[in-house]
């Protein structure tokens, strides 16, 4: 009897909350056929931090651990050299934008968001094409990996293109290598914070690991990526 009374009270409170907040529920929709929603890890990931903080290492480690199926399918494109890895070398921005209709790819393009900056030499039409291209990544089931040295200096309009921001920092340990810290933020929920006086994203998780030789040898730490704009 007590359980029944509590249940009635809970229902009453629930209905009251719905009315107060002007929430309407389409009850009939819960009894009709549906289809599974497309989800996954697709979208734009941006590894951030100043030079030497481990951005490229973290990016390459991600590719090695999560993108083997794309490599086997010949669907990896990069303007960063990936040692002992099968991929297509991106020659310039036009080459990148030619992938606009590709699906199920892994695309790596260093500092791509800086090309959209107002101080960039890229023309207005190319910026518009690049912005449209980045917005299609989740829809086309693509994973787009990029880097940025100065995350907060990027226009908020372009930060919103990013699904996950990974803030990287490194503590060198001499002959023992180093410790990498990756802080993951959900950029899809980025919003203005009055205390920070800046747009901030909710924290997802923090990962701490030691640098591993197997990943350190997969890219050239001294490579200078050409201006491909």
Q: What pLDDT score was predicted for residue 32?
A: 72
Inside any domain, residue 9: no
The DSSP annotation for 137-174 comes to: TTTTT-EEEEEES-GGGS-HHHHTT-SEEEEEEEEE-G
User: How far, in Å, CA of 64 to CA of 44, rounded?
Assistant: 17
Q: How many domains does the chain have?
A: 1
CATH code (residue 141) = 3.40.50
pLDDT of residue 125: 92
Positions in the chain whose pLDDT score sits under 50: none
Any domain includes 83:
yes
pTM of the model: 0.82
For residue 156, is it within any domain? Answer: yes
pLDDT recorded at residue 17: 66
- What was the pLDDT predicted at 222? 56
Q: Order of strands across the sheet with 178-186?
A: 88-89, 76-78, 106-108, 143-148, 43-48, 164-172, 178-186, 203-210
Expressed as residue numbers, the domain containing 135 is 43-216
Give residue for tokens 């907040």.
21
Q: Are 122 and 116 in contact (CB under 8 A)?
A: yes
Asked if the structure places residue 32 within a domain, the reply is no
What's the pLDDT score for residue 37?
59
Quick check: is 21 in a domain? no
- Residue 193 belongs to some domain of the structure: yes
What is the per-residue pLDDT for 135?
93
In a domain, 12, yes or no: no
């Amino acid at each position: 009897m007590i359980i029944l009374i509590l249940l009635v009270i809970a229902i009453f409170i629930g209905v009251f909350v719905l009315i107060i907040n002007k929430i309407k529920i389409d009850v009939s929709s819960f009894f009709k056929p549906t289809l599974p929603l497309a989800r996954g890890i697709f979208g734009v990931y941006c590894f951030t931090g100043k030079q030497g903080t481990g951005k490229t290492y973290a990016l390459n480690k991600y590719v090695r651990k999560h993108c083997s199926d794309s490599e086997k399918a010949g669907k990896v494109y990069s303007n960063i050299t990936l040692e002992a890895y099968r991929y297509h070398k991106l020659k310039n921005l036009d080459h990148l934008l030619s992938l606009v209709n590709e699906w199920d790819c892994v695309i790596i393009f260093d500092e791509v968001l800086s090309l959209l900056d107002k101080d960039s030499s890229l023309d207005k039409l190319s910026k518009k094409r690049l912005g449209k291209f980045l917005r299609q990544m989740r829809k086309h089931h693509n994973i787009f990996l990029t880097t940025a040295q100065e995350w907060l200096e990027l226009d908020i309009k372009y930060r919103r293109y990013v699904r996950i921001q990974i803030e990287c920092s490194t503590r060198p340990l001499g002959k023992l290598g180093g410790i990498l810290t990756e802080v993951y933020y959900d950029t899809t929920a980025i919003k203005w914070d009055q205390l920070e006086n800046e747009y901030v994203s909710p924290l997802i998780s923090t990962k701490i690991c030691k640098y591993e030789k197997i990943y350190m040898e997969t890219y050239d730490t001294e490579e200078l990526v050409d201006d491909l704009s």
